[in-house]
Structure 1
Amino acid sequence: MKKIKLIVFILLVAVILILDHRFGWSGYLGNLDNLGFLKEMVQQNLWQAMLIYLVVTVVGCVVLALPGATFALFAGILFGPWLGILNCLVATTLGASAAFLTGRFFLKDSIKPIAQKNRYLKKLLFDSNPKSELVVLMITRLVPLFPYNLQNFAYGITDISFWKYTIYTFVFMFPGVSFFTIGAAGLTATEGRVWYFAVAGVLCLLVMGAGYLLKKRYLSEEMPKEISREMSKDMEEKQ
């Protein structure tokens, strides 16, 4: 059964990639110039525009390999800074959760045993310590180490609970989403543009600083030490 799920998942990904290449969905959705119809809709029917944005973002998170910042930029331009942040956080969290469930259903049974054979991945993704889950999610949401949608699928093969993953994702994406959304809102603002850019700049520095410190603390120091200890154990076992 687990092989069948993996094969179905691979076939679905192949079909989506072919269709995306054929019709250029990623290029269209990733182009800021194609927001005209939604901008008009925001003025005419805000709730309908928000719903369309929500659906497009969720589909983009699960199906298309779009950078996570794309959705925040769209939200800032369409809805302004504050409503944009809320819309983006809700939509991207729902999209991340949908991708997580997809990964858990299709990939966990087949990929998890393979990933656990690698001691580094086992320590990083399958540590039973709740603090480790918190740290890893914090790092990957703040530091752009991996593509956004790949992260979401990858977490699906771990043992982290769905609700813990969803709540942590919402919380830890807030600084980055705020930075991109407020900055994008400043591009189209008619008043207070300087303040938008100033706030976005401060948030950018905070996000980059926090990401650097977390990466240095947990990925540059702790993990190499852990790998060194595991290698020593392996050598001792062989002796």
Structure 2
Amino acid sequence: MIGLVAIALVVAGRALGVTSLGRLDNLARLREWIAAFGPWAPVVFVGGYVAAVIAFVPALPLTLLGGLVFGPIAGTVYASIASTTGAALAFLVARYAARDAVERWMAPYPALGRIDRATARHGWRIVMITRLVPIFPFNLQNYAYGLTSISLGAYLVTSFVCMLPATVAYTVAAGAVVAGAWDVRRMILLLAVAGVLLVALSLLPRWLRGRSAALDDLLRTG
């Protein structure tokens, strides 16, 4: 069922002319389309998000879409479920179903080889760092970790926890846009929360440099 919904979402997106999910008008159109599914809207959203993660589609617009459609709380829940599920499936594809193909995909990105070597030394700490600090593209990481020695459990738990702050920030910011239509105070509060989280995340790389042996090793390894 979820697979069919995911396909339907992609097809509908193309029919609507959604070639750039990040555009506000496209997000608004997708919001209306998904909301029209009523009780099935969460299934449509999660299925489409998972398919997008596997297909290397940027996750940020979809996270914002979750906040627009479902609000900050439910949007965070659904976006977190979807991003973690997509990350798990990409990991499993790389490890068990298409390892040779994934290795060929990664060949043009020698920097991703650092993840394998650093993970062998530092384990889940490398997952934590690459999820919190934008060193490598999110969707490429999902496949890259499938080629490392880290266990699926450690990868998933660390990914879920460390992706959560950014997910909350973006869904809260998107939810503030909707809230502003009927409650200005709520909008200001939500934007303030999102702003604090985003500022903290932007300062994290600078704070970690020199304090994290795992990060220093990841950046230094050639």
* SS class of match (1:80): helix
Partner of 2:7: none
Q: Deviations 1:61-89 (Å, cap 9, x if unpaired)?
A: 001x3222122101100100011111110
Alignment-mate amino acid for residue 40 of structure 1 = A
Partner of 2:74: 83
Which of 170, 187, 199 in structure 1 is aligned with 2:160? 170
Alignment of 1:1-239 (within 5 A): 27=19, 29-30=21-22, 31-35=26-30, 36-41=32-37, 45-46=38-39, 48-63=40-55, 65-105=56-96, 106-107=98-99, 111=103, 124-126=115-117, 127-129=119-121, 132-189=122-179, 190-191=182-183, 192-214=186-208, 217-218=212-213, 221-223=216-218
Unpaired stretches in structure 2, ≥5 consecutive residues: 1-9
Alignment-mate amino acid for residue 38 of structure 1 = I
State the alpha-carbon separation in 1 of the partners of residues 217 and 135 from structure 2: 17
Quick one: structure 1 residues 154 and 26, their matched pair in 2 at CA, closer, same or farther if it must change by over 3 Å?
farther
TM-score for the superposition, normalised by structure 1: 0.70
State the alpha-carbon separation in 1 of the partners of residues 215 and 161 from structure 2: 24
Tell me, yes or no, if the aligned pair for 2:80 and 2:160 is still in contact at 8 Å. yes
Tell me, yes or no, if the aligned pair for 1:101 and 1:156 is still in contact at 8 Å. yes
Tell me, yes or no, if the aligned pair for 1:108 and 1:157 is still in contact at 8 Å. no
* SS class of match (2:120): coil
Calculate the aligned-residue CA RMSD, in Å: 3.0
* SS class of match (2:19): helix
Give aligned-pair identity as a percent.
Answer: 30
State the alpha-carbon separation in 2 of the partners of residues 52 and 224 from structure 1: 39
Q: Deviations 1:175-230 (Å, cap 9, x if unpaired)?
A: 01011110111111121100010000011112122233235545774456666xxx
Tell me, yes or no, if the aligned pair for 2:93 and 2:143 is still in contact at 8 Å. yes
Q: Deviations 1:149-187 (Å, cap 9, x if unpaired)?
A: 111011110011111111111111010101111011111
- How many residues align? The count is 196
